[in-house]
A = this chain, B = another copy of it.
Amino acid sequence: MSSTVHRIDFRAPAPRPLPPSAPAAPSFEVQGTLADIVALMGGNAQTLPADEAREVLALVRVHEGLTLFHEGSPLHSLHVVRSGTMRCVKLDDDGYEQVVAFAGRGDVLGFDGLSSGAQSVTALALEECTLYALPLQELRRLRIRSAGFDAAFLQAVSRRLRQLFESAEMMAAVSSEVRLARFVLWMSSRMAAMGHSPRRLRLTMCRRDIASFLAVAHETVSRSFGTLAELGCLKVVNREIEIIDMPLLRKQARGTRSAGRQASTRPRDLPPDPAPASPWPAARIA
């Protein structure tokens, strides 16, 4: 301990090349309506007046592997993912990168840069993606023009914020196996929210990305997948995941103190009184 000199950085993700400096020249397509994006963000498109609903918005297409925007670059527009998955990374001082989020359909990108005027993460496409581009000026105009859009927008940002809390919960301590189980469940619920089957996932990111996101080594991700498969929770073939036993998977995702002694389970500073059942409405987080 005293000789920190020898400390080796065992940060999970292996080094990545500097992003393929492709300045990302996404092709624009004039498509999409206000009704579209409102629904996308979780608002109620029905309530939009007809004239608003027909407003046309710009769409951007980003090809696999390309960068939509770079950390530190000036913030011109927000983006809302319409299809595909984006990977948000922060560049470490050493050039290592840390995956801080995966953004899918309905997620807002760039909002976190509003307060500083610069992007706080780099966003790359894990697969072919289409996104609504909302120049800040346009954003303001829309929010003023359409109360429905404004509400939906806030909804989307709120969802994003909650997602980050959830991912904090994922990365929080616990063993790597539990972390991965939670990750799979998270992906599953996202799939479900998009109308897809919650049991069959096609991961769009490689092991290393998952590893970086969960803050473990990519070899550990492999091994944990293996373990979960052995347990009968999953069937794993490369990036194809099938959830075999959902309850078991959930169980794995929990504290996993499972069988055996649970001696120290009792909160050690439990007050003398019997502490009645939880006095507030049970949390109903995913």
Q: Which residues of A come within 8 Å of B, CB atoms?
A: 1-2, 4-18, 20-21, 23, 42, 70-74, 88, 90-96, 98, 100-101, 111-116, 118, 120-121, 154-162, 164-165, 167-169, 171-175, 177-178, 212, 215-216, 223, 226-227, 230-231, 252, 254-260, 264-271, 275-276, 278-285
Contacts and interface: CB of A to CB of B under 8 A. Distances in A.
B173 A10 contact: yes
Contacts of A114: 154-155, 158
Contacts of A177: 4, 7
A82 B115 CA distance: 19
Contacts of A280: 70-73
Contact of A18 (B21, B157, B173, B275): B275
A112 B230 contact: no
Given A256-B7, A280-B70, A285 B120 contact: yes
Contacts of A278: 18
A5 B259 contact: yes
A165 B269 CA distance: 33
A252 B1 CA distance: 13
12 contacts: A4-B256, A7-B256, A9-B174, A16-B267, A21-B276, A71-B283, A72-B283, A92-B255, A93-B255, A120-B285, A161-B161, A164-B168
Contacts of A284: 72, 118
A162 B11 contact: no
Q: Which 9 pairs between the two chains have the least Cβ-Cβ distance?
A: A15-B267, A72-B283, A114-B158, A112-B161, A173-B215, A164-B164, A115-B158, A11-B173, A70-B280
Given A5-B260, A9-B174, A165 B165 contact: no
Given A90-B165, A90-B285, 9 more contacts: A2-B227, A6-B260, A15-B265, A20-B271, A72-B283, A72-B284, A96-B255, A98-B172, A115-B159
A131 B132 CA distance: 36
A31 to B, nearest CB: 26
Contacts of A265: 15, 94
A98 B164 contact: no
Nearest to A216: B173
A72 B169 contact: no
